[in-house]
Amino acid sequence: MKLEQLLEGVSYTLVQGSLELDIEDIIYDSRKAAPGRLFVCIVGTQRDSHDYAAQCVADGVTALVVQHDIDLSTVPGAAVLKVESSRYALALMSGNLFGNPSRRMTMIGVTGTKGKTTTTHMIKSVLEAAGRKVGMIGTNGIYFLGHHQETANTTPESYELQKTFREFLDAGCDTALMEVSSQGLMMDRVAGIHYDIGVFTNLSPDHIGPGEHKTFEEYRSWKGQLFKRCTTGVVNIDDENTEALLEGHTCKLVTYGCSEKADYRAGTYQLLRTHDFLGVRFHVSGKDDMDVKVNMPGEFSVYNALAALTVGKVLGLPDEAIHEGLSRCVVKGRVELVPISRKFTILLDYAHNEVSTESLLTTLRAYAPHRLVVVFGCGGNRSKLRRYGMGEICARMADFSILTEDNNRFEKVEDILADIRVGMNKGNPDAKFVEIPDRLDALHYAVDHAQEGDLIAVIGKGHETYRDREGVKTPFLERELLEEYARQIGLE
């Protein structure tokens, strides 16, 4: 592609060189420098890649995009273009490079503090039940038509994002569904993308600190940018931040929630539990009238399901698809049931901090189990406050706790467990617990000592497929390990 074509829609100044150059690819990692490539210099939180421009030209790159002036004598022969924001330029150029694939699919973006991953999976399940071919991007990775890839970020960098959209389109996808993080919006990863539907789940303080957002207000403002980049906004009317987040929005709004003002509103919900099902049933009124059954527990599942249902209604999907999608949806590592016994219920969840743990245990306690048992640990080389907090919550809310490893990294598991004990003693000095440092042994212990009617939550790792012991990652998929152990001991 000619450099001039690559720059379509980008405001720039040609500092030196020609626009008639052929560009084979775009890079923003100097280690990938090679002839025929354009290197985008980005000012990051840790380093400024303008410092690598001269070396990239020495390694053969054809052109440079810069955000501030550089010494042109060090980059002879290369075309140099100056832009106001190199990240924004990278996003637009990446779209041009891959043929702007997002313009040829239905685009759905989901933002919020909690529930993004579960909501996107529910929407995907509903869409696929209606016969749509869906590509999905988020915390759990990239999924499309039987393929799965891991991602480094919830919202990938713009180049990888546009490349993925191209893969979706070439594979036959008609819909791209993604989690849109505040960082993804702030760092222009989704610049140039217009969404047919933007979804808002809820908002609470998160991602505030060095290298992220300076204040909660800034965090909220960036979340709200999605609703200046979509045609229809599907929003939770019950959240106290909704009005402020939507300030200046340019989209049509369709609301969901429990409020009488909601377009699609849920009434009182009923908890459902069997040996192989943990979910809710509720009635929807407002712009429609239907009963809904969801294969996930708790009030937050009602809200997530309402969001998915509303998206389905906006797209004109049949009720049958909405019912089927919501009743069958399973999200790896998000209150994921592992039906290995009729005697007790065991599930996996990604809860890995005080807030998410309290939310999960509150939800599970509502199902009135014989005992609420939690298997958990905390990551190494991270704040001890999380260990104290999770210990305190589990001691106060669980009937029995099994303390174990969870990505200890370069810390001793025993030291991490000692910190958790401090929190447990604060939460409930009489709390019942056992320490089993090896996580596999802890899983076996939980199964071996389960009592009739127990609800056992294995939290922290969720959908992860490895465990990190002393810096070495080894395969560790908890669902498969639990199923294998149940077969070994003949569990019924």
Annotated binding site: 30, 112-118, 153-155, 181, 189
For the chain, state the CA radius of gyration.
Answer: 25
Please provide the DSSP assignment of 195-259 as one string.
EEEEEE----S-SBSTTSBSSHHHHHHHHHGGGGSEEEEEEETTSTTHHHHTTT--SEEEEEESS
Nearest to 372 by CA among 297, 435, 456: 456
Whether the Cβ atoms of residue 453 and residue 345 lie closer than 8 Å to each other: no
Q: Which residues are annotated as a binding site for ATP?
A: 112-118
Task: Please name the amino acid found at residue 435.
Answer: E
Report helix, strand or coil for 435: strand
**Strand ranges in 303-384 using DSSP code E only, listed in sequence order:** 336-337, 345-349, 372-376
Strand (E) or helix (H) holding 413: helix 413-427
Burial class (CB in 10 A: 0-12, 13-18, 19+), 325: buried
Of 103, 68, 105, 71, which Cα lies nearest the Cα of 85?
A: 68
Minimal CA–CA distance to 101: which of 180, 22, 175? 175
Cβ-Cβ contacts under 8 Å for 433 (sequence gap 6 or more) = 394, 395, 400, 401, 402, 403, 424
Helix (H, G, I), strand (E, B) or coil at 394: helix
